[in-house]
Amino acid sequence: MAKEKKLVQEITSMEEDFAQWYTDVVKKAELIDYTSVKGCMVIKPAGYAIWENIQHELDRRFKETGVENVYLPMFIPESLLQKEKDHVEGFAPEVAWVTHGGMEPLQERLCVRPTSETLFCDFYQKEIQSYRDLPKIYNQWCSVVRWEKTTRPFLRSREFLWQEGHTAHATAEEAEQRTIQMLNLYADFCEEVLAIPVIRGRKTDKEKFAGAEATYTIEALMHDGKALQSGTSHNFGDGFAKAFGIQFTDKDNQLKYVHQTSWGMTTRMIGAIIMVHGDNSGLVLPPRIAPTQVMIIPIQQKKEGVLEKAYEVKGMLSGYRVKVDDTDKSPGWKFSEQEMRGIPVRIELGPKDIEANQAVIVRRDTREKIVTPIPELEQKVAEVLETMQKEMLERARKHRDAHTYTAKTLDEFKKIAEEKPGFIKAMWCGCQECEDALKEEAGVTSRCMPFEQEEITGTCIHCGKPAKHMVYWGKAY
């Protein structure tokens, strides 16, 4: 039994050290491994399977809105990157450069893709001639490189996986509509599939994407009270189009610039799943994203008929992602392992259960045990998985709401920022000076100006001038 307990004891308690707990979980649940390339990780099968499910579900939703997938090069000539001044300045500190091809120095440095706006613009400039060529609704699944100083698995690494959508439209209205449509798609995906509640809103000008006219975001709250930007959608207006000369002949025979958008979601969402739902026994995966939804654990599996019955039950549950743990480990070890990996449901099945024509369903999130007749297992498993998905979202929403505070005075704002991890709702005049001052004095950043505005007071929390927006503030990953 000592060996069986060790699997769980090796995880640092999240109450003791949340950062170490997170690292322990990603390692012990075998989601990643570290590599000899500083700041880069191996995404192991258990981690990559989660990303595949994210990919599959997002891709399906994208295509329902008319998105087509493409693939562009990972290298960007320096001259191309320089065409949009704000954009290149925003990414300059994080860019990795290729200077040699084999032994020969290159005539022009190549940037390793940190994001692909410039490449898409170069492509669109050749591709788009007439209004008949519009809209272009493209997306690519790829990796990007950003030379981060401080890294943490999934949340911030020098190379990470993502999707980046890049669209071109005839009008500003169409571009804005697509920008908001994709943000809402991300928000629905987070809530319906990942069971993560999000705040939808717009970034301040200071926090918006380099070169964008407007950046919209979904912000989620992690278990430790820090915010995580979970998906962004950018309206570029015609700024990039003017820099790259992307023009088309409209129906009125006039030459016009296209209006563009860009939107993305990354492997950091795996980190979000861990930090929103995990506990001191490891991962807790929402059923809709879990690579394995049900693990059948045969008890005394060497006894005649036990393994056969376990596989018979697996056959009954063919509509779900189901495995049988038929390894020679002890049941206690298997339970700990299933909990560590976050598998939503386990089914315990031993000789006495078979004799009684029943099995025991155990929920990963609440540890509730449900004794169920074997003929009713399929229906009961469906009910349990659906209930679990719904309740995980409700619990995460309650946690977020319980850690969302309202501040009416600057003193109150600073006190909350110092003592209570979470979101702080407060009014803002719209001036960057006040935004910078709040970061300096309270250690928080603006997370978003939510679409659902409310008036807490009529004045800015910092300067006392008339307020323009209610803003969510917080400390963030």
| CA dist., res. 244 & res. 366, Å (int) | 55
pLDDT for res 334: 96
CB 289 within 8 A of CB 193: yes
For the domain covering 294-384, report its CATH number: 3.40.50.800
pLDDT for res 453: 97
CB-based contacts of 173, cutoff 8 Å, min separation 6: none
Helix (H) or strand (E) holding 226: none
Residue 396 above 60 pLDDT?
yes
Confidence of residue 297 (pLDDT cuts 50, 70, 90): very high
> What average pLDDT does range 182-198 have in this prediction?
98
Residue 56 above 50 pLDDT?
yes
Can you say how many angstroms the Cα of residue 222 is from the centroid of all Cα atoms in its chain?
12
pLDDT for res 90: 73
| Domain range summary for the chain, segments of one domain joined by + | 17-277, 294-384, 404-474
Closest by Cα among 448, 401, 475, 396 to 194: 396
pLDDT for res 82: 86
Residue 459 above 70 pLDDT?
yes
pLDDT for res 2: 41
165-174 per-position pLDDT tens digit: 999 999 999 9
Confidence of residue 441 (pLDDT cuts 50, 70, 90): very high
> What average pLDDT does range 129-153 have in this prediction?
96
CB-based contacts of 448, cutoff 8 Å, min separation 6: 199, 200, 201, 202, 203, 217, 219, 471, 472
Residue 421 above 60 pLDDT?
yes
pLDDT for res 16: 96
CB-based contacts of 283, cutoff 8 Å, min separation 6: 25, 29, 31, 273, 274, 277, 340, 341, 342
Confidence of residue 228 (pLDDT cuts 50, 70, 90): very high
The whole-model pTM stands at 0.95
pLDDT for res 8: 53
Confidence of residue 91 (pLDDT cuts 50, 70, 90): confident
Q: Could you give the C-alpha distances from 140 to 45, 67, 265, in angstroms and in order?
A: 22, 10, 11
pLDDT for res 305: 94
pLDDT for res 209: 92
CATH number for 404-474 (one of 3.40.630.10, 1.20.970.10, 3.30.110.30, 3.40.1190.10): it is 3.30.110.30
Ramachandran sector of residue 288 (left: φ over 0; alpha: ψ -120 to 50; beta: rest): alpha
pLDDT for res 3: 44
Residue 439 above 50 pLDDT?
yes
For the domain covering 17-277, report its CATH number: 3.30.930.10
Selected residue with higher pLDDT from 237 and 90: 237
Helix (H) or strand (E) holding 17: none
Lowest mean pLDDT among 83-87, 188-192, 374-378: 83-87
> What average pLDDT does range 436-446 have in this prediction?
98
Share of the chain above pLDDT 70, in %: 98
Confidence of residue 7 (pLDDT cuts 50, 70, 90): low
